[in-house]
Homo-oligomer: A and B are copies of this chain.
Amino acid sequence: MSLEFAILGFLNYHPYTGYDLKKIFDTSIRHFWPADQSQIYRTLARLTGQRFAEVEKVPQEDRPDRKVYHITERGRAELLRWLAGPPPMGEPRSAPLIQVFFAGQLSDEEVLAKFEGFAAVMRAILSQYNQVPAQIGPYEQEITSPREHFFWLLTLDNGIRSMRANLEWAENVIAQVKAGKVPHK
């Protein structure tokens, strides 16, 4: 479902091919909704079947023909209905937390290494996030209005705040392990 709406969201800005959309995803929302090329193409086919989008075939000579997708009125209405509707559920799953839950099986040294590993990953992601504003470049031309830009920055702010909270959590655990505050069996 979500991918359909993400694609409709971009088609609402401008008509695009599947190839365009893959690049746009990879330079914008991939941080909270990565999309596989094959899945984008299959979803475009489904959106067309539902008459939320229409295909315009653009023949090319030396390149494969392009299939440019245009959002329909039906599609636009569907998008706005979803946007104004109730909040979709956030994905609750976290594989790292399964490791934490059962980490009592490890020695204190292993626990320390594990959480230092978590912290390293989180710092790497945070520094990636901090570089995002500098990478808007090519995408900025697609999203023209300052209003759209504002909401794009909000998603980034969300990521940064979440990751900071997670990093603080991990650092707090590391301090506890080092202080010998982890109970033994």
Contacts and interface: CB of A to CB of B under 8 A. Distances in A.
Interface string A166-182: 10110001000000001
A99 B90 CA distance: 11
Interface residues of A, number: 67
A67 interface: no
Contacts of A92: 31-34
A91 interface: yes
A83 B82 CA distance: 40
A99 to B, nearest CB: 6
Nearest to A173: B154
Interface in A126-145: 145
Interface string A93-120: 1111111111111100010001001100
A86 interface: yes
Contacts of A151: 100-104
Interface stretch (A1-9, A15-23, A41-49, A57-65): A1-9
Contacts of A12: 102, 105
Contact of A88 (B95, B145, B184): B95
B91 A93 contact: yes
A169 B158 contact: yes
Contacts of A91: 91, 93-95
A105 to B, nearest CB: 6
5 contacts: A32-B94, A32-B97, A80-B105, A104-B151, A146-B183
